Amino acid sequence: MTFFDSGVERAMQPASGSGAVGVAEVTHATIRDQLSDYLDNSLTELERRRVDEHLERCSACRAYEATFRATLRAVGALPRVQAPASAKRRLREISQA
């Protein structure tokens, strides 16, 4: 499911009045903040397991993850353009100042 699929808006609505889930009170925001590290496989085993367990239960965060993955693929598919020599020169000047 991606951001553009129907039903995502419905899935994004919290199931209860609390933004936290599970015994450790892991919030949806905490999970979403960790998704980049999760996809890079740079979380600890405990953190990764916590994100996995949350994603199994939470359709809203699964939709967020799917959209995040789709965004990464789309950005990765963009053509790479060389910066002009003048921009490179200016950046070197700034970094040496």
Its pTM stands at 0.59
What confidence category does residue 61 fall into, taking pLDDT thresholds of 50, 70 and 90? very high
Alpha-carbon gap, residue 32 to 12, rounded angstroms: 12
Share of the chain above pLDDT 90, in %: 70
Alpha helix locations (H) across the chain? 8-11, 28-39, 45-57, 59-76, 85-96
Q: Residue 4 class from Cβ within 10 Å (0-12 exposed, 13-18 middle, 19+ buried)?
A: exposed
What confidence category does residue 12 fall into, taking pLDDT thresholds of 50, 70 and 90? very low
Alpha-carbon gap, residue 65 to 44, rounded angstroms: 18
What confidence category does residue 25 fall into, taking pLDDT thresholds of 50, 70 and 90? low
Alpha-carbon gap, residue 95 to 73, rounded angstroms: 31
